[in-house]
Amino acid sequence: MDLLQLLSWACIVFTVGMFTTGLNDLKKMKASQSADNVQFLPFLTTCLNNLGWLYYGILKGDGTVILVNTIGAILQTIYIITYCHYTKEKKHVLSQTLVMVCVLCVGLVYFRLLIPPGQTQLSQLGLACSVFTISMYLSPLTDLVPNTPGIFTSLIRVYLFWRFGAVFENKPAYKLIQI
């Protein structure tokens, strides 16, 4: 067994192990008959991520990428179905899932019909999958940051003060009162 094959198997074992972390949430949902304390977005983004990387692996012909992401997509689909079964907010969950399916379909049309096959298609798909991988790891933070629009507008204001604050540095914005 050469080093590359050993590394490939280690990648498969550790990545599948990471995908099975959702089994704890599955147990919690089944025990409590509720999905109240379980986040849905990580399951959804991970499933989309797996399907994107699966398509990448198929185009590249990489068996390791295909195997890992097939297992991941199956597990995430099981988690999504279980969550849908136990949640009280079925409309919200189904609308998020519908958006994911639409994103997946648009991506498939884009990469199959608009991008010529070959290295360009593979590199653009790899970039898109990398962005989704980052979003998959950041998605649990959505519950920790409830005021995302406020954070973005604050960052814009800080930038504007930093960029244009020096323009009025010597000239006060108000007139001093003489006593």
On the 0-12 / 13-18 / 19+ scale of CB atoms within 10 A, 141 is exposed
Q: What is the mean pLDDT of the chain?
A: 84
The more confident residue out of 140 and 18 is 18
Cβ–Cβ under 8 Å, residues 57 and 66: yes
Listed in sequence order, the residues at least 6 apart from 33 whose beta carbon sits closer than 8 Å to its beta carbon are: 86
Both ends of the chain: CA-CA distance in Å? 89
The DSSP code sequence of 62-95 is -HHHHHHHHHHHHHHHHHHHHHHHH-S-HHHHHH
**b/e sequence 80-93, b meaning 16+ C-beta within 10 Å:** bebbbebbeeeeeb
User: What's residue 139's pLDDT?
Assistant: 64
> Is the C-alpha dihedral spanning 135, 136, 141, 143 positive or negative?
positive
The fold of the 3-145 domain, in CATH, is: Monooxygenase (1.20.1280)
CA 81 to CA 62: how far, in whole Å? 28
Q: Coil, strand, or helix at residue 163?
A: helix
> Is the C-alpha dihedral spanning 69, 15, 10, 124 positive or negative?
positive
Residue listed under structure tokens 């499933």 = 47
Question: pLDDT digits over 7-42, tens only?
Answer: 888 888 888 888 888 888 888 888 899 888 888 888
Q: What percent of the chain has pLDDT over 90?
A: 32
Arithmetic mean of pLDDT, 87-99: 91
- Give the residue extent of every domain in the chain: 3-145
User: What's residue 171's pLDDT?
Assistant: 61
